[in-house]
A = this chain, B = another copy of it.
């Protein structure tokens, strides 16, 4: 092995130790830390983040990568190291173009903006947040000009979360989808709605945890490589392919929430658990593409978890753990978990209207970064789009434009990746049915782990080494298209709602 590669590996190993404890501090702050312990953890987090940042942008690292990129060295590398060197060099070059004082003021502005957003949301008063949003937009623009000079701003932002997915592709996908979904949702909403009253009740929290265990076992979560914590909002994090953890939140009045969160986060975690362990501790490991990642959580949650046959092999067990379900038929259950509602809040939305929530945000982000629409106009724009796509108008900003945290932290271009995930899912569904046979049959037979295995082989094992477009091409053999998702929605909901 070349000397410089060996040095890089030693360097990355050390940098990874910093990453490791940064992740652990964050995990513990979400799951365990008592109120007065936060300060100590935050101090440590600041210290190790600063050290990690220094290492990831150092001249020493830069020099090693430069040397490894020289043809005579580069050719000796295997594919994984070629990927790592190229990717790290590109990211480092981008970071190096950001002036240190600008970055510092960005971090400060971001913290202030996040605080202002919390305050604004609590008071349901957009005017508190507006000046901060304006500043974040301006600084995000500036940041993109530094990292990717000469490129179209919004494409740069999209690329951050879903590499290679430009807005031209997305415009097409989202327009295709919108054209079909808006009328489909209208038809669904004017059809007869299922009766949700049977689901009201008090669900024992410990029993919900047992159901969670059942579900995670069922879909193939590997307990040797993961665990579950309890937090306000569910999330997934991972140290490596060998330690990918999820969290959940349990509501006494609502058993479905924790069930579907478990399946969703379980999907994220299974992805990470199935990444090639050789990639651990490098940029090849884990999956950094939000859309692809979300495609897996949503595949488990929606395509599988909201299929009636998913529940067939375990519905009796569910009733044994949560006796309330014994009084609910599987058909009633199926209708409720696919109950389409035009509601205000994205995170509570069903799988169909969810797409429209995202399209609204995508269109507003384009209005901001392409059409320079001012922040003052955004709440009206939001409300008009809600009315147009979902036939409802938020009564206040908290249930409208202030509902999500993303923009306050400068995460513009993130939302579309959620929807890309669903679009990819339509394509993966087609491919699985082509290769493994009918999903309904697989689920009915309790052979769901065959799907987990297929996803592992086709998608998960590659971690970050394939970009989203490369994944789609390699797995589906064609360009990404919204057609399969549209077909899935149309067929499924035509049947459920007898349209």
Chain A residues with a Cβ under 8 A of chain B:
14, 17, 20-21, 24-25, 27-28, 31-37, 39-41, 43-44, 47-48, 206, 223-227, 229, 239-240, 242-243, 245, 280
> Are A44 and B28 in contact, CB atoms less than 8 angstroms apart?
no
Q: Which residues of B contact A240 (CB under 8 A)?
A: 37, 40
C-alpha spacing A34/B241, complex, angstroms? 11
Contacts of A47 in B (CB 8 A): 14, 17
Of all chain B residues, the one with the shortest Cβ separation from A39 is: B242
- Contact check, A40 vs B206: say whether CB atoms are below 8 A apart: no
10 contacts between A and B (CB under 8 A): A20-B44, A27-B28, A34-B224, A34-B242, A34-B243, A34-B245, A35-B223, A35-B225, A40-B243, A41-B239
Bound CA–CA A47/B25 (angstroms): 16
Contact B44 A17 (CB under 8 A): yes
Complex: A185 Cα to B14 Cα, angstroms: 57
Residues of B within 8 A of A32 (CB): 31, 227, 229, 245
Which of A24, A31, A41, A225 has the most B CB atoms < 10 Å from its CB? A24
Q: CA separation between A225 and B35, bound complex, in Å?
A: 6
Return the contact of A37 from the options B36, B40, B41, B242 (Cβ within 8 A). Answer: B242
Q: Which B residues touch A17, using CB under 8 A?
A: 43-44, 47-48
- Contact assessment for B21 and A239 in the assembled complex, using a CB-CB cutoff below 8 Å: no
Could you say which of A34, A43, A229 has the most chain B C-beta atoms within 10 Å of its C-beta? Answer: A34
Closest 3 CB pairs of A and B: A37-B243, A36-B242, A21-B21
Measured CB to CB, the closest approach of chain B to A242, in angstroms, equals: 4
Q: Is the CB of B24 within 8 A of A239?
A: no
Which of B31, B37, B243 is A225 in contact with, Cβ under 8 Å? B37
Chain B residues with CB below 8 A from A44, complex form:
17, 20-21, 24
Known: A28-B28, A34-B224. 17 other contacts (CB 8 A): A17-B43, A17-B47, A20-B41, A20-B43, A21-B21, A21-B24, A24-B24, A24-B44, A31-B32, A32-B245, A34-B223, A34-B225, A34-B226, A35-B224, A36-B243, A37-B242, A37-B243
Question: What is the predominant secondary structure among interface residues of chain A facing chain B?
Answer: helix
Residues in B with CB closer than 8 Å to A245 are 32, 34
Let me know if A25 and B33 touch, CB within 8 A. Answer: no
A456 to chain B, nearest CB (A): 16
Are A36 and B224 in contact, CB atoms less than 8 angstroms apart?
Answer: yes
A21, A48, A227, A239 interface centre (most CB from chain B within 10 Å): A21
B25→A227 contact, CB < 8 A? no
In the complex, A90 Cα to B24 Cα: how many Å?
A: 34
Question: Which residues of chain B have C-beta atoms less than 8 A from A224's C-beta?
Answer: 34-36
> Which chain B positions have C-beta within 8 A of A33?
227, 243
**When A206-B206, A226-B34 are in contact, do A242 and B24 touch as well, CB less than 8 Å?**
no
* Chain B residue contacts of A226, Cβ below 8 A: 34, 37
Task: Give the complex CA separation of A172 and B300 in angstroms.
Answer: 69
In Å, the complex CA distance between A141 and B206 comes to 52
- Known A21-B25, A48-B21; contact A225-B14, beta-carbon cutoff 8 A: no
Please measure, in the bound complex, the distance between the C-alpha atom of A368 and the C-alpha atom of B424, giving whole angstroms: 70
State the Cβ distance, A342 to closest chain B Cβ, in Å. 39
Instruction: Tell me the smallest distance from the CB of A3 to a CB of chain B, in Å.
Output: 22
**Residues of B contacting A227 with CB < 8 Å?**
32-34
Q: Please name the residue on chain B nearest to A22 by beta carbon.
A: B21
Q: Give the chain B neighbours of A243 by CB distance below 8 A.
A: 33-34, 36-37, 40-41
Instruction: Write the nearest CB–CB distance from A102 to chain B, whole angstroms.
Output: 27
Q: Once the chains bind, are B242 and A40 in contact (CB under 8 Å)? A: yes
A401 to chain B, nearest CB (A): 35
> Which residue of A40, A227, A245 has the most chain B CB atoms within 10 A of its CB atom?
A40
| Closest Cβ neighbor of A36 among chain B residues | B242
Measured between beta carbons, the chain B residues less than 8 angstroms from A25 are 21, 24
Closest chain-B Cβ to A38's Cβ sits at a distance in Å of: 9
Residues of B within 8 A of A24 (CB): 21, 24-25, 28, 44
* Contact in complex: B225, A40 (CB < 8 Å): no
Cα distance, A224 to B36, chains bound together (Å): 6
Measured in the bound complex, the distance between the Cα atoms of B224 and A33 in whole Å is 9
Interface pair B35/A20, CB less than 8 Å apart: no
Nearest CB of B to A40, in Å: 5
B40 and A239 contacting across the interface, CB-CB below 8 Å: yes
A17 CA / B22 CA spacing, docked (Å) = 12
Query: Would you call A239 and B20 a contact (CB within 8 A)?
Result: no
The smallest C-beta distance from A99 to any residue of chain B, in angstroms, reads: 27
> Are A20's CB and B34's CB within 8 A?
no
Output the nearest chain B residue to A35 by Cβ-Cβ distance: B224
Note all chain B residues with C-beta closer than 8 A to A37. Answer: 225-226, 239-240, 242-243
A243 to B32, CA, bound (A): 10
